[in-house]
Amino acid sequence: MGCSMKTGDDLRVFWNDTASDDDWKDEDEGSLNIIQCKTTGQYIKHDDDALYMVATTSTDNCRFGEVTIPRGCITEIVALRSDGATKIWD
């Protein structure tokens, strides 16, 4: 991800998720679409495989609601800054 993010940055990430259905259908029935998602949280880190975020952090540095989003699913990342939202990756 050719962008500058640091731990604790507020982000909004747009990404595509899979869809599934566990019900029997005829061949001509059923068509699943990719689910478009939006996750808002704080940046933890990223690597070659994924972006790691968290929904909530406490004053004693505990985390709640960690999310791992595979890089191949991400369509856009927006930094939420006091001077306005800035697209930092797409």
Contact between 46 and 54 (Cβ < 8 Å): no
Q: Give the pLDDT confidence of 30-65 residue by residue, as tens digits.
A: 678 899 999 999 999 999 999 999 999 899 989 999
Candidates 17, 33, 34; CA nearest to 73 is: 17
DSSP states along 12-52: EEEEEE-----S---TTS----PEEEEEEEEEEEE-SSEEE
Residue 5: predicted pLDDT = 84
pTM over 0.75: yes
In the chain, domain spans: 10-18+33-89
Q: Quote the CA–CA distance of 18 and 81 in Å, as a whole number.
A: 30
The arithmetic mean of pLDDT across residues 8-36, rounded, is 86
